[in-house]
Chains A and B, each alone.
Chain A
Amino acid sequence: AQSVTQPDIHITVSEGASLELRCNYSYGATPYLFWYVQSPGQGLQLLLKYFSGDTLVQGIKGFEAEFKRSQSSFNLRKPSVHWSDAAEYFCAVGAPSNAGKSTFGDGTTLTVKP
């Protein structure tokens, strides 16, 4: 069975500081990995995705994620956080043929201090 663990429920960083959100997954085959962001009162928006190829993936809003098969991880990073990045972030894993049946992590809430 597939599963996703986001170890950090809540992270607080200062504006301008770097950010890393952790994601560990369990999946029997080649995983299809996503990061989504959810602003208050909104639906989830795709930040980036990985299926194959370069293990460092660039996304929107200056985010990137690195796939590490040996560690079963897909951590999300941003070099310099902006106040507008405050939101909830979800990692998900699934089959390439059916993104809708992905398994989502429980989310990490990011607070940005001025």
Chain B
Amino acid sequence: NAGVTQTPKFQVLKTGQSMTLQCAQDMNHNSMYWYRQDPGMGLRLIYYSASEGTTDKGEVPNGYNVSRLNKREFSLRLESAAPSQTSVYFCASTGDRVNSPLHFGNGTRLTVT
């Protein structure tokens, strides 16, 4: 019963490098989300996908791109990493019922030097 799986768990990048954070869910959820968590700031929505083939910007999309590869997978790409993108990134998904809560992965801790 894996739920939401994120890879990698940790990553260190140099400024300007690129990388892709992977997320997969096995709950047959249509909606998937990427958040970043910074100390004292709660969670902020970066991008979300309401269904396969659709993506929309959240609160803090600048510097990121996403791909909804299929129903299971939703990836987050940093094309040119900046120190301001040092954060913990969480992927989440929700079911289709009106009051479905979020199911979170365990996060990716990213440091950009």
Contact = CB atoms under 8 A, between A and B. Distances in A.
Interface stretch (A14-22, A61-69, A73-81, A103-111): A103-111
Interface of B: 4, 31-33, 40-45, 48, 58, 90, 92-94, 98-107
A32 B94 contact: no
Contact of B104 (A41, A43, A97): A43
A46 B42 contact: no
Interface in A9-52: 9, 32, 34, 36, 41-46, 49, 51
B90 to A, nearest CB: 6
Contacts of A9: 40
Interface size class for chain A?
Answer: 20 to 34
A51 B97 CA distance: 13
Q: Which of A46, A98, A99 has the most CB of B within 10 A?
A: A99
Interface in A65-99: 90, 96-99
Contact of A34 (B45, B101, B106): B101
Nearest to B100: A99
Contacts of A44: 43, 90, 92, 102, 104
B31 A45 contact: no
Contacts of B101: 34, 46, 49, 99
